[in-house]
């Protein structure tokens, strides 16, 4: 199985900050990487696929980058609606695997 490791597990930030979350794969996954956002009590929502492609309707302050084994999710000018948990996920094999999540808190 491909293991996905995110850091940090928790990130404290303020409105207006720029933050970066890192995701590492245990083996190369090319650009088969997605990011999901989950707010408390809600289902996750897809933000980014193919490492850097924003889903329709996702604000441009979200961006993704990386290739191979190292990926980042960056949120510029953090908004109150962005405080949530973020998960990376690889889809280079049938057994999709997720990172453990990064909680972005105020």
Partner 1 sequence: EVQLVEAGGGLVQPGGSLRLSCSASGFTFRSHSVYWVRQSPGKGLEYVSGINGRQNVMNYADSVRGRFTISRDNSKNTLFLQMSRLRPEDTAIYYCLKARHSDYESIDYPPFDHWGQGALVTVSS
What residues make contact with partner 1 under the rule CB under 8 A? 32, 34, 36, 43-46, 49-50, 55, 87, 89, 91-98, 100-101
CB of 13 to partner 1, least distance (A): 22
Nearest to 83 by CA among 42, 22, 55: 42
> How far apart, in whole angstroms, are the C-alpha atoms of residue 66 and residue 95?
21
CB of 1 to partner 1, least distance (A): 9
Identify which of residues 77 and 100 has a Cβ nearer to partner 1 in the complex: 100
Identify which of residues 95 and 106 has a Cβ nearer to partner 1 in the complex: 95
> How far apart, in whole angstroms, are the C-alpha atoms of residue 54 and residue 76?
14
Identify which of residues 75 and 90 has a Cβ nearer to partner 1 in the complex: 90
Nearest to 64 by CA among 85, 42, 89: 89
CB of 64 to partner 1, least distance (A): 12
> How far apart, in whole angstroms, are the C-alpha atoms of residue 98 and residue 68?
16
Residues 83/85/90/94 CA torsion (nearest 10 deg): -130
CB of 10 to partner 1, least distance (A): 14
Identify which of residues 11 and 33 has a Cβ nearer to partner 1 in the complex: 33
């Amino acid at each position: 199985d491909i293991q996905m490791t995110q850091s940090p597990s928790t990130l404290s930030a303020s409105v207006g900050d720029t933050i970066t979350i890192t995701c590492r794969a245990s083996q190369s996954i090319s650009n088969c990487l997605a990011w999901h956002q989950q707010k408390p009590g809600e289902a996750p929502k897809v933000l980014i696929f193919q490492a850097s492609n924003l889903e329709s309707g996702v604000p441009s302050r979200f961006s993704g980058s990386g290739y191979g084994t190292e990926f980042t999710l960056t949120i510029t000018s953090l908004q109150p609606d962005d405080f949530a948990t973020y998960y990376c996920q690889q889809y280079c094999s049938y057994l999709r695997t997720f990172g453990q999540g990064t909680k972005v808190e105020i």
